[in-house]
């Protein structure tokens, strides 16, 4: 199974191509707000010597994280499926971070922390060992005060921007290569319209007066 993985949920965006769990190439981009998504896709396909029509599955990181980045990955996956008969997978970006922590041998009780804006964070806790990576406390939106209280019980704190809050936390980004390896073990494929960002807040809309809209 040839997989193209797209992970744009954090300040470090990446694309990878893999076959049967073996990653052939990964492109990484940091800084700025825009993403040269198609440039990275062309780069990894060229390095792997894989043509576009050989891609069988696209795996997209669903966040939480940068809503704009996540939507970009989903849009590319949806468009590709419309153009070609490929399969799609959506995978939680916190799961990719935890999987990378397992590779890095960060064992024990590990909390993933991601900026949720509005002075809040996304927080989820895993129990990680050499053979096991299991979520033990589900993803939630939390406050900095709650994070401070949890610091007394958790052994490790990780995340893309963890050092904003915890100086000795381990900076780990969700990577497309890790996403591709996770995708190789799954068959929970979905239609494009079923791919949705992981976003725990309810959408807030402001109703504008009709006159304001016209003007």
* Domains, in order of start, for the chain: 2-93+174-194 (3.30.420.40), 100-171 (3.30.420.200)
Q: What is the pTM of this model?
A: 0.90
pLDDT at 152: 66
Q: Which residues contact 74 (CB under 8 A, 6 or more apart)?
A: 60, 62, 90, 195, 196, 197
Tens digits of per-residue pLDDT, 94-141?
999 999 999 999 999 999 999 998 889 999 999 999 999 999 999 999
Any idea which residue has 């904003």 for tokens? 164
**Which of these, 161, 66, 89, 99, lies nearest to 37 by C-alpha position?**
66
CB–CB of 24/184 below 8 Å?
no
Q: Output the average pLDDT for the chain.
A: 90
pLDDT at 214: 38
């Amino acid at each position: 199974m040839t997989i193209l993985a797209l992970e744009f949920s954090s300040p470090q965006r990446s694309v990878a191509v893999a076959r049967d769990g073996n990653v052939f190439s990964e492109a990484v981009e940091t800084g700025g707000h825009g993403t040269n998504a198609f440039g990275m896709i062309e780069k990894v396909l060229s390095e792997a010597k894989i043509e576009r029509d050989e891609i069988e599955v696209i795996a997209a990181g669903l966040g939480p994280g940068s809503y704009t980045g996540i939507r970009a990955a989903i849009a590319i996956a949806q468009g590709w499926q419309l153009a070609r008969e490929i399969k799609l997978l959506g995978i939680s970006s916190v799961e990719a971070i935890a999987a990378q922590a397992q590779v890095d041998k960060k064992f024990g009780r590990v909390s993933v922390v991601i900026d949720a804006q509005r002075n809040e964070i996304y927080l989820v806790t895993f129990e990680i060992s050499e053979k096991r990576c299991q979520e033990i406390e589900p993803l939630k939106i939390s406050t900095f005060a709650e994070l401070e209280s949890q610091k007394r019980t958790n052994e490790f704190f990780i995340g893309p921007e963890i050092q904003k809050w915890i100086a000795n936390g381990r900076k780990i980004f969700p990577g497309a290569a890790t996403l591709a390896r996770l995708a190789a073990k799954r068959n929970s494929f979905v239609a494009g319209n079923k791919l949705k960002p992981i976003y725990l807040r309810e959408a807030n809309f402001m109703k504008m007066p009709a006159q304001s809209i016209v003007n």
